[in-house]
Amino acid sequence: MASLKLARFLLNSNRKFPNQFSCFTKTSCNLQRRLFSDVTQQSSINLSSSPPTSPPPFHDSTTTSGGAGFGRRTPISSSLNESELLKFSSIAETWWDSQGPFKPLHVMNPTRLAFIRSTLCRHFRKDPCSARPFEGLKIVDVGCGGGILSEPLARMGATVTGVDAVEKNITIARLHAESDPVTSAIEYCCTTAEKLVEEQRKFDAVISLEVIEHVANPAEFCKSLGSLTVPNGATLISTINRSMRSYAAAIVGAEYILRWLPKGTHQWSSFLTPEELVLILNRASISVQEMAGFVYNPLTGRWALSDDIGVNFIAFGTKNSQ
């Protein structure tokens, strides 16, 4: 019964997937059809701020806690998660260490930027071959960390605002940006998306990568992102799918076996499925147009765009006209 209600919700004229909603790559079946198929086969989908119960935490034999306490959502009015802020504050100095705790993001960054460049150039009718295709665009990087995404966006011509709730992250970002005249123009603020909404800030594109799985209330967070986006503007969000594959790869594999990430970086129950993210964004007046997966090749040590959204994925949406 729940699946039928969800199917009707998706097909509702105000909330349906756009006709052009598609996978980034051209080598597979249409993602819209696959998403709808996945939805109709599920018995229920929980869209509340409290996700379904996760599998039992994976415990390493070398530790007694396994970091299971990190990432627990706190019942506060904003989307901030205090335990997550403390966790990232403790490793803020390592943001620009390409071999440190943020190595996976450094390695993934070229692939993330390729998707961002392609979708934004197409949406805003910019020349993707230009050295500075984002000239004239105002972009906000929500949850910017040390600025590893904000800086290349600025080099591509955008007027960039980077915001993060962790003061140490902003300090590191500002110090690193000062070394380049182009990146020194980035506006870094220790604040939140909600505060920017209160200040009535608006941007052509709102980007938040690998952040939503660390917030206390994804629905409220997306609502703020939608409010920051100008009508017909763009919103991009990347995160990790809540699947058994992601539990094996992003937690057991990345945190406990390969040690790419500190133990406790992620909590499986805080992940969102692509279907949930699409619906949450829809309620925030953002219509998802495109989605792609990120797949890691252990032989080359590189990430690539794919139609496989079983673990890491990114969504591109546009703000509904008002």
Which residues does residue 313 pair with via DSSP β-bridges, in sequence order?
239, 293
Picking from 251, 240, 214, the residue whose alpha carbon sits closest to that of residue 66 is: 251
176 is in an annotated binding site: no
Q: How many CA within 13 A on the CB side of residue 52?
A: 10
Which residues does residue 203 pair with via DSSP β-bridges, in sequence order?
229
214 is in an annotated binding site: yes
Pair 229, 258: CB distance under 8 Å: no
164 is in an annotated binding site: yes
245 is in an annotated binding site: no
Tokens 């996976």 map to which residue?
Answer: 104
CA dist 72 and 187 (Å) reads: 31
210 is in an annotated binding site: yes
Which residues does residue 294 pair with via DSSP β-bridges, in sequence order?
305, 312
E-assigned strand segments in 165-300:
187-190, 203-209, 229-240, 286-297
293 is in an annotated binding site: no
178 is in an annotated binding site: no
Binding site for Mg(2+): what residues are annotated? 210, 213-214
User: Per the annotation, where are the binding residues for S-adenosyl-L-methionine?
Assistant: 112, 143, 164, 209
Q: Annotated binding site, which residues?
A: 112, 143, 164, 209-210, 213-214
